[in-house]
Amino acid sequence: MISQLFKTFGLSTSNPGTYIGTKSLENTEYISSISPIDQTEIGRVSKTSNYQFQEVIKESKKAFLEWRKFPAPKRGDIIRQYAMELRRHKSDLGKLISVEMGKPIQEGMGEVQEMIDICDFAVGLSRQLYGKTIKSERENHQMYEQWHPLGIVGIISAFNFPVAVWSWNVAIALICGNICIWKPSEKTLFSALACQNLLCKVLSNNNIEIPISNIISGDKNQGKWLAEETEVSLISATGSVRMGREVAATVGKRLGKSILELGGNNAMIVSPNADINLALHAALFGAIGTAGQRCTSTRRLIIHSEIFDVFTEKLKNAYAQVKIGDPLDPNNHMGPLIDQNAVNQYLKCIETVQEQGGEFIIEGGLIRNRNTKSPFYVKPCAALLPPNAEIMKIETFAPVLYLIKYTHLEEAISYQNNVRQGLSSSIITNNLQEAQKFLSPEGSDCGIANVNIGTSGAEIGGAFGGEKDTGGGRESGSDAWKAYMRRQTTTINYGDKIPLAQGIKFNL
């Protein structure tokens, strides 16, 4: 299957890792991509050398001078054609993501659908990069604001959404007139290179030789080069809070711009006024989807004490129905974790829960059977914890769900907000007052606050991102595009006098 996918996407088992548009550069040092499904090596990709990185910067600078001259709707048309390529390759790209990252095939294809959706959004946006007109206080003067591209946008992405998060950035950044340099996760390089080759196909079909989308491969060192580079106007970085702190400091030091999309620690409040069946579906999908490796995964379930026993009994039954195994089998709901380090974190978390007074209602542990061909498959689990347990403040990227009891809504909201991360949150209730309280300034402090849907996932039409340690960045829909452009305020004097500020006069 892999050889067929490689053929489809123009890849090879030993692939260059530096791309300046269609031109690829190889190096002597490689990173292996290992499938978490069965630990087989998918192939290897060469790391970008410092010299190659400088070449990418040089060529990106030149490319910007050309690309910014393209009318925005023409840039949009390239993205429209890219969306068509993605539609044609949805199944194959979904498979490649699933093999490399380990998420279920339906989720792999769902990730490609997200790419298609943001491309469609960007196409429309390419005709709507509107500025404002402003009434001047001076006679015969007109003011307005206009938006120009920034230049080079650096995109650093995480393993769990190997390509969708890049697409949120690249589709918008490109229609705005920027050049992109992508440093994908070192764990999912082939998915990234497949997307690059598809985009290059569109550029070739249009006889565009400008390298508008470029790739550097490597680990955090290559990420640091990108963050340090003064020619890169904006760094959009997705990953752990630890990474975000380092990138923010580096980019801040050179007064660059950044969009940070970092770790989450998302809670769902289940009220006594909830539709229990709805709450159950939302909780299950939020907690076990992508094996708990989503930034929006539900990690904490804050349940009213009146319904705690009934709800957790149903949750146990629901967990018992979860099928775990080969993510390429569409009957399975959950695949493996990404690697041994993730498994170690999961096991350590279970130990810590017990040390901090947690009581497992649904037991965790490793899974070893004929359906699991690597040691990275684990059981999703859930534990009741005292509301102040410290372990709940940490994002463990695994399917461990914490259960907390509450009696008053204010208490539930304070538990929900009592973590440093601020990405996604939700309340399940049919009570309007409760819902509105949760959405009010006294309610959730997160970037995303949902009612009667879970914490997991997001539609591309809204701006996506979170507060506090999640970094404060916004990507994707709404007016997130403004972060990829520079604002220019313009005043035009169409009279024959020049009124100077503060009433200053010269006797000229």
Chain residues binding ligand NAD by CB under 6 A are 156-161, 165, 183, 185-186, 219-220, 223-224, 227, 238-240, 243, 246-247, 261-264, 295, 395, 397, 423, 466, 470
First to last CA, the chain: 81
Catalytic residue among 176, 200, 295, 349: 295
Neighbours of 353 (CB within 10 A): 24
Pairwise CA distance, residues 238 & 260, whole Å: 6
For residue 59, which phi and psi values (nearest 5 degrees)? -70, -35
Q: Locate tokens 């580096």: which residue?
A: 250
Quote the least distance from Cβ 229 to ligand NAD, whole Å.
11
Task: For ligand NAD, give the closer residue by CB, 15 or 217.
Answer: 217
Q: Locate tokens 């309340």: which residue?
A: 427
Task: For ligand NAD, give the closer residue by CB, 178 or 258.
Answer: 258
Contacts of 329 (CB under 8 A, 6+ apart): 105
Quote the least distance from Cβ 225 to ligand NAD, whole Å.
8
Asked about 246 being catalytic, the answer comes back as no
Catalytic residue among 107, 229, 261, 475: 261
Task: For ligand NAD, give the closer residue by CB, 168 or 438.
Answer: 168
Task: For ligand NAD, give the closer residue by CB, 173 or 262.
Answer: 262
Quote the least distance from Cβ 433 to ligand NAD, whole Å.
30
Quote the least distance from Cβ 408 to ligand NAD, whole Å.
30
Asked about 145 being catalytic, the answer comes back as no
Pairwise CA distance, residues 362 & 261, whole Å: 31
Closest CA to 57 of 244, 142, 183, 207: 183
- Cα 412 from chain centroid (whole Å): 27
Pairwise CA distance, residues 162 & 115, whole Å: 11
Decide if 278 contacts 452 (C-beta within 8 A).
yes
- Cα torsion at 208, 212, 215, 220 (round to 10°)? 180
Decide if 472 contacts 489 (C-beta within 8 A).
no
Quote the least distance from Cβ 159 to ligand NAD, whole Å.
4
Pairwise CA distance, residues 70 & 152, whole Å: 16
Quote the least distance from Cβ 238 to ligand NAD, whole Å.
5
Pairwise CA distance, residues 30 & 32, whole Å: 7
Quote the least distance from Cβ 295 to ligand NAD, whole Å.
3
Task: For ligand NAD, give the closer residue by CB, 151 or 466.
Answer: 466
Task: For ligand NAD, give the closer residue by CB, 149 or 162.
Answer: 162
Amino acid at 181: I
Half-sphere exposure of 302 (CA within 13 A, CB side): 27
Task: For ligand NAD, give the closer residue by CB, 117 or 261.
Answer: 261
Torsion sign (Cα): 281, 285, 287, 288: positive
Pairwise CA distance, residues 8 & 1, whole Å: 11
Cite the active site residues: 261, 295
